[in-house]
A = this chain, B = another copy of it.
Amino acid sequence: MSKVPVMEVFGPTIQGEGMVIGQKTMFVRTAGCDYSCSWCDSSFTWDGTGIDLIKQMDAEEIWAELVSHGGEGFSFVTISGGNPALLKNLSYLINLLKEKKIKIGLETQGSKWQDWFLNIDELTISPKPPSSGMETDFNALDMILGKMKATDNRNQTSLKVVVFNDEDYNYAKMVHLRYPEIPFFLQVGNEDNKTTDDQMLINELLKKYEWLINKVMADDELKDVKVLPQLHTYIWGNKRGV
């Protein structure tokens, strides 16, 4: 059985976050997560509320769905979740995308390893800060980042930490200083991922973004880092599937 549980396929749209921010991409969102972050903005992938959306699909079916949405207009696919790293069987999709010369981006929190990580072009490891309520398994993280480093370097690995408060900020710093050679992204947390008042949301997010920038600029221990917002929220607010 080479199927995986898929929650939604959409695009083309832009990647709003992290190392490939702005990239034109299709999205495949898988179901299921081993975490339950307090502020998860895709909790429908694991909390039962999205259960009717889940389809068990094999690689060819996912490809057909990608093409039905994206036609001839894409060369990049982002796999997100939930935690796609739970799914050993994603290897079939990843191999198929490779055959089709599609570049692949993937984000995971860094709790699980899969051998197919080595075939991801742009791998974002996003360990979760204290405000999530989750505990980081640093043994797993060390192992994953060690294995990625040992590869021939054609693929890119980065770390991204979402920051809601000072405690998260200190956690982010600790992560960066533990893995100083890995490209590091700080991202503003979205405190209110339910509101539909886009103007208020943007103003709040910009205020938080400025707060985070100011902290990093004043901090001599964070030098070679990038500070980014969630760009798509500026355009589409909290809407899903865009």
Contact = CB atoms under 8 A, between A and B. Distances in A.
A61 interface: no
A231 interface: yes
Contact of A227 (B11, B24, B213, B234): B24
A141 B229 CA distance: 33
Contacts of A24: 216-217, 222-227
A210 B223 contact: no
Nearest to A18: B22
Interface stretch (A33-41, A69-77, A111-119, A164-172): A69-77
Interface in A18-45: 20-24
A73 to B, nearest CB: 4
Task: Say whether chain A's binding surface is mostly helix, strand, loop, or mixed.
Answer: mixed
A73 B214 CA distance: 13
A223 B74 contact: yes
A3 interface: no
Interface string A140-181: 000000000000000000000000000000000000000000
A228 interface: yes
